[in-house]
Amino acid sequence: MPPTTPPPSPTPTPNPSPDGRDVQQRLQQVLRFHSEISAALRRLSEELPRPQRRAFESLSRWFAQAPTPQDVLHRADALAVCLPLMRPAESGEIASWQIDEAARQAVNRVGSPRGQRYRLLQGLIYPLSVLLVSGLIIILFCLFLVPEFDAMFRDFELDLPALTHALILLSRFIRQWGGVLLGGTAILGLVLLWISKYRLGRWMRSKRDVMAIWARHVSLLLQAGLADDEAIQTAGRASERRWVADLSRFWGERLQQGQRPFDGAVYAGSQPVAMIGYAMRQETPQQRSEWLDEVVEMYRERDHFRWNAWLAWTTPMVVCVAGGAVGFLVIALFLPLVGLISGLG
């Protein structure tokens, strides 16, 4: 059984094997048409929904910068575009329709970049709207209604309960520091908007989704013709998570030493790799690639169900919190009046 935590140590990019050199030479033939690929991706991005459009516009600009074969191998979406073009490139020419078709296949192969960020934002639209309205109600109460009640309570010299004292203190705080709170809220909103646009998707990726991205990359590299160890280590170096890079290096080194790290049960601490181990035990590279694609779909489906289950509890929880806030306002304001009326009776 391999250790659960491979020792982390940065490793330089190794020299390619004979298979790796052959793949890079074939990719070099494809990259002679990098300008045409960039133009095809730019045209295709105009037909895509906004999240995909942004991703493929970025990929179009990336191809326009004349990447190297090594760059392509370390970027899964670029490799998905180049794979269907490797065979036509051997003849020396690639037709424009073949480039367009390869770009469309890449859209289907790589999939939508929506991920958890969009599922989360879509699921929280209603709860956040409820919270926003509830917060506005509380602020309006504290600005206009609570001061009137506070003056009335002082006139009658009522003995106020703790809830009413807390509401009066909150009202005074909002009236005194309202401008600062408004400015801070605006700054926080801008920061959250920036995070949701550029960083939230990466931060919120689950381990299962990270492994799905890695497995998709390994599948593409196997289809390109790399050996198992080289494909695993290349995908690991391209991963945005350190633990994936360490795990990939660990597996790749075992394969280079002639060991079989995927025989039997595959463990990596709490990382979801059991299905990947099964896929890598298949006999041929083509079978391993196909099974990895199946694993990607299973991982993403499970991740989708997990997020749906989480979001199912979010709405009632937020509504209960909002209802509790409104209830706090009503009880804190009118409880002293009930005591006053009871005393007069």
Domain ranges for the chain, please list them.
Answer: 18-110, 114-345
Give alpha helix (H) positions in the chain: 18-30, 34-45, 50-64, 69-73, 76-82, 86-89, 96-110, 115-140, 146-156, 162-198, 200-203, 207-224, 228-238, 242-256, 274-280, 285-344
Direct distance between the N- and C-terminal alpha carbons of the chain, in angstroms, rounded to an integer: 80
* pLDDT digits 0-9 by tens, 269-321: 566 678 888 899 898 999 999 999 999 999 888 877 877 777 777 778 877 88
CB neighbours (10 Å) of residue 223?
Answer: 21
C-alpha span between 169 and 164 (Å, rounded): 9
Per-residue pLDDT at 201 exceeds 60: no
Residue 231 contacts residue 288 (beta carbons within 8 Å) = no
Asked if residue 97 has pLDDT above 90, the reply is yes
The total number of residues written for the chain in this structure? 345
The pLDDT tens digits for 245-268 are 999 999 999 999 988 888 765 666
Q: What does the pLDDT read at residue 29?
A: 94
Average pLDDT for the chain: 83
- Contacts of residue 72, defined as CB under 8 A and 6 or more positions apart, other chains included, come to 27, 31, 78, 79, 82
Amino acid, single-letter form, for residue 175 = R
DSSP string covering 236-281: HHH-S-HHHHHHHHHHHHHHHTT--TTSS---BTB---HHHHHHHT
- What Å distances lie between residue 9 and 6, 140, 239, 295, 305, CA to CA? 9, 57, 15, 28, 35
What is the reported pLDDT for 109? 81
pLDDT of 5 above 90: no
User: CB–CB of 41/35 below 8 Å?
Assistant: no
Q: Return d(Cα 345, Cα 195) in angstroms, integer.
A: 58
Tell me how far apart the alpha carbons of residues 54 and 23 are, in angstroms, rounded to a whole number: 29
Predicted pLDDT at 2: 43
pLDDT given for residue 11 in this prediction: 42
CA distance 147 to 288: 71
* Distance (Å) of CA 105 to CA 42, 98, 99, 214, 217: 15, 10, 10, 19, 15
pLDDT digits (tens, 9 = 90+) for 130-180: 777 778 888 888 888 899 999 988 888 888 889 999 999 999 998 888 778
Q: What is the pLDDT of residue 285?
A: 92
